[in-house]
């Protein structure tokens, strides 16, 4: 269980509901081709407003990770892996997530793929090691 | 060409209130204690103060991080400021200082008191849970929406990513990181105002519990109640005051994306902090080899490595070897670091403890922890926004 779910806000709701059809979506600029996350009302690279959510592969690599051992809430299950995943589509395109694997499998560079977990109206993009 | 504003400004007084876990005095009382002591330290009367500024001001947030507004402080001090500022965004904790520098240089004020008050120890006594999670079942929004749903409730989780990435890229290890906490504690043992003064060994560090790997309990700073205040004065008004003026030789500032959940680089550096460092060195003829002590932000120990490299004090990737063993960052070392104990051992005064300690060293008030003959001190603040300052005594 997520300790708290994200509020679905106008610019970000697509990200949290994207998993409804099993696909991860990231904001993409139709003019310059840049992906950006977190999303913004315009492209931070070229200024274009023709930005829209587009499906991505859902694949990436762990850029960094940490094994959290502190139960910040009484019902929080620990340990768990909190990680930044660099998506395959673009260098420096990061999403935060939990690695759904035994903690000892976490390592920098680990290939991972998205695996959604639904809670209420939110599909949290979790990641698991890519099948070898 | 417009002259650099900081060349017109000096620090003329500095003081701290009681620092405690928790204090029996209210946040406003602590604020008044620190401000009045700093004004007296400068040799000024309260009536001569014509500006007041703080970070971040007052908010409804209940965690004790923003308990006092500058208007409240002005009222309790009995001053009628011409210039007033609360700065909650931008280049972090130093923003009100940099804004005070520009206000003084522009003639809007002559003597400005800048304060930072925290009451996080008292707040923690009232609510064990992290402030991020208080307030029932509301959803998270803004920056926190990207991390809290994945259990990363504390900033320690985010900066643990930086520590792990740094370990992986540069082959750094726990002992090298632990040397920061051990050395800071040794310095705190010589600082009567520090919160934690009992020395620790590297073995103690390695035996402490992991909070968010690779960061341990001793890598995290300590919540306190306390206030710090500085008096900034125009150079023309500083010469006749009580203390030798401390010149703001250079300042550097930068913002990054961390406030909005955007990370530059590969988690092994803080690129925005490097921009702050480049700005600072572009505004002075001094060079890193002239620094006598470094007061480097240590909300988490990993910040010390990232800031040492951002400020060009150590080449990228070498801070881990620089802190190893602690001898180079000790009081007799080539770069005495966090000589009052830093936030790890002297308490989270949110960067202002570091500035205060730089003043203590330059005014030769350090007692047993004094760095002999210290003339030039560098200070850095912040993990999300970035400020750095070079202070110089003639």
Average predicted confidence (pLDDT) for chain A: 96
Rounded distance between C-alpha atoms, residue B196 and residue B218, angstroms: 11
Tell me B134's DSSP state: -
Averaged pLDDT score across all residues of chain B: 95
Mean predicted confidence (pLDDT) in A97-102:
98
At a CB cut-off of 8 Å and minimum separation 6, what does B285 contact? Answer: none
The per-residue pLDDT for B137 is: 60
**Whole-number pLDDT of residue B227:** 98
Q: Is the pLDDT reported for residue A67 higher than 70? A: yes
Q: Which stretches of chain B are assigned E, i.e. beta strand?
A: 9-16, 51-54, 83-86, 111-119, 210-212, 215-216, 225-234, 246-255, 293-295, 376-381, 385-393
Q: Please give the structure tokens belonging to residue B388.
A: 């750095």
Which of A34, A96, A99, A128 should be substituted to probe chain B, the one whose Cβ sees the most B Cβ atoms within 10 Å?
A96
A41 touches B: beta carbon within 8 Å:
no
Who's near B40: CB < 8 A, 6+ residues apart? Answer: B13, B15
* Nearest chain A residue to B212, by CA: A68
Query: Which of B 248-307 lie inside 8 A of A, CB atoms?
Result: 260-267
Kind plus residue range of the DSSP H or E element containing A89? none
Measured between CB atoms, does A66 come within 8 Å of chain B? Answer: yes
Interface touch A3/B151, C-beta < 8 Å: yes
CA–CA separation, B355 vs B365, rounded Å?
A: 14
Asked if residues B293 and B390 have their Cβ atoms less than 8 Å apart, the reply is no
Q: How do beta strands B225-234 and B293-295 pair?
A: unpaired
For residue B55, give every residue at least 6 positions away whose Cβ sits within 8 Å of its Cβ, in sequence order, or none: B86, B87, B88, B92, B93, B94, B95, B96, B116, B350
Mind telling me how many Å the CA of B54 is from chain A's nearest CA? 30
Judging by DSSP bridges, how do beta strands B385-393 and B246-255 pair with one another? antiparallel
Q: What is the pLDDT of residue B89?
A: 80
Separation CA B236–CA B225 (nearest Å): 35
Does B157 contact A76 at a Cβ distance shorter than 8 Å? no
In B260-343 the beta strands, taken as DSSP E runs, fall at: 293-295
So what's the pLDDT on residue B92?
Answer: 78
A68 closest CB neighbour out of B149, B151, B165: B151
Q: Cβ–Cβ of B150/A76 closer than 8 Å?
A: no
What the block records as the tokens of B337 is 């670091």
* pLDDT at residue number B135: 47
Q: What is the pLDDT of residue A131?
A: 84
Q: What CA–CA distances, in Å, run from B349 to A11, A14, B55, B331, B356?
A: 36, 40, 11, 22, 10
Tokens found for residue A131: 């099948």
Q: In chain A, whose CA is at the least distance from the CA of B216?
A: A69
The token pair at A72 is: 């910040």
Residue B37 at interface with chain A, using a CB cutoff of 8 Å: no
Quick one: closest CA in A to B260, which residue? A38
Alpha-carbon distance of B305 to B43, in angstroms, equals 38
Q: Let me know: does B179 contact B325? Beta carbons within 8 Å.
A: yes
Query: What pLDDT is stored for residue A130 in this prediction?
Result: 96
Ranges assigned E (strand) in B48-154: 51-54, 83-86, 111-119
Cβ atoms A50, A101 nearer than 8 A: no
CB contact under 8 A, B211 and A124: no
Pairwise CA distance, residues A79 & A102, whole Å: 10
Q: Give the model's pLDDT for residue B133.
A: 55
| B211 contact partners, CB below 8 Å, separation of at least 6 | A68, A69, A70, B154, B156, B160, B217, B219, B220
Please say whether the beta carbons of B299 and B275 come within 8 A.
Answer: no
Looking at the predicted complex, does its ipTM rise above 0.95?
yes
Say what the pLDDT of residue A1 is: 73
Which domains, and CATH codes, for chain B? 5-126+223-238 (3.40.47.10)
Q: Tell me, what's the pLDDT at B136? A: 55
Residue of A nearest to B210 (CA): A69
For chain B, say whether A13 makes contact (Cβ under 8 Å).
no
d(CA B307, CA B300): 11
Q: Which of A12, A14, A43, A64 to mutate to test the interface with B (most CBs of B within 10 A)?
A: A64
- Interchain CB distance below 8 Å, B151 and A82: yes
pLDDT tens figures, A104-116: 999 999 999 999 9
- What is the token pair recorded at B389? 């300052």
Residue (of B46, B327, B365, B285) closest to B183 by Cα position: B327
Reading across the β-sheet that carries A35-36, which strands appear in turn?
A: A35-36, A25-29, A51-55
pTM of the shown model: 0.97
- Mean pLDDT in consecutive groups of 10 residues from the start of chain B, 394 residues: 92 98 96 98 98 93 89 97 91 91 97 96 73 64 93 96 98 98 98 98 98 98 97 95 98 88 94 97 98 98 98 98 98 97 97 98 98 97 94 97
């Amino acid at each position: 269980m997520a300790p708290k779910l994200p509020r679905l806000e106008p610019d970000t709701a697509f990200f949290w509901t994207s998993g409804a059809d099993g696909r991860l979506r990231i904001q993409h600029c139709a003019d310059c081709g840049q992906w950006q996350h977190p999303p913004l009302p315009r492209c931070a690279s070229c200024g274009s407003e023709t930005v829209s959510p587009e499906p991505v592969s859902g694949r990436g690599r762990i850029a960094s990770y940490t094994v959290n051992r502190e139960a910040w809430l009484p019902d929080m299950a620990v340990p768990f892996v909190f990680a930044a995943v660099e998506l395959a589509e673009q260098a420096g395109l990061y999403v935060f997530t939990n690695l759904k694997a035994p903690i000892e499998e976490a390592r920098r560079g680990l290939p991972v793929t998205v695996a959604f977990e639904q809670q209420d109206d939110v599909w949290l993009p979790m990641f698991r090691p890519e099948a070898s | 060409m417009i002259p650099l504003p900081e060349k017109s400004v000096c620090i003329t007084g500095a003081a701290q209130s009681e620092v405690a876990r928790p204090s029996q005095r209210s946040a406003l009382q602590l604020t008044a204690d620190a401000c009045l002591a700093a004004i007296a330290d400068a040799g000024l009367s309260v009536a001569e103060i014509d500006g007041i500024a703080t970070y971040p001001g007052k908010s409804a947030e209940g965690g004790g991080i923003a308990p006092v507004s500058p208007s409240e402080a002005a009222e309790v001090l009995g001053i009628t400021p011409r210039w007033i500022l609360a700065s909650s965004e931008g280049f972090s904790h130093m923003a009100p200082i940099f804004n005070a520098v520009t206000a003084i240089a522009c003639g809007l004020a002559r003597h400005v008191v800048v304060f930072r008050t925290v009451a996080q120890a008292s707040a923690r006594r009232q609510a064990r849970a992290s402030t991020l999670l208080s307030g029932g079942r509301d959803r998270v929004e803004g920056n926190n929406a990207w991390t809290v749903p994945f259990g990363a409730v504390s900033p320690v989780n985010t900066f643990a990513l930086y520590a792990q990435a740094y370990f992986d890229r540069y082959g750094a290890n726990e002992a090298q990181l632990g040397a920061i906490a051990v050395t800071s504690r040794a310095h705190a043992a010589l600082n009567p105002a520090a919160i934690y003064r009992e020395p620790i060994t590297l073995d103690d560090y390695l035996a402490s519990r992991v909070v968010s790997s690779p960061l341990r309990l001793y890598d995290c700073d300590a919540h306190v109640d306390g206030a710090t205040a500085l008096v900034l004065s125009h150079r023309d008004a500083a010469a006749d005051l009580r203390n030798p003026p401390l010149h703001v030789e250079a300042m550097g500032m930068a913002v990054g994306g961390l406030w909005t959940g955007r990370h530059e680089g590969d988690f092994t550096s803080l690129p925005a902090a490097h921009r702050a460092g480049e700005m600072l060195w572009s505004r002075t003829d001094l060079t890193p080899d002239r620094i006598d002590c470094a007061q480097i932000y240590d909300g988490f120990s990993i910040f010390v490595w990232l800031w040492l490299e951002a400020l060009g004090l150590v080449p990228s990737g070498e801070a881990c070897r620089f802190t190893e063993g602690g001898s180079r960052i000790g009081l007799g070392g080539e770069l005495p670091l966090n000589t009052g104990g830093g936030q790890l051992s002297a308490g989270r005064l949110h960067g202002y403890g570091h500035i205060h300690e730089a003043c203590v060293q330059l005014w030769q008030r350090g007692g047993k922890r004094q760095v002999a003959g210290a003339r030039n001190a560098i200070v850095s603040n912040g993990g999300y926004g970035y400020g750095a300052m070079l202070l110089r005594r003639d």
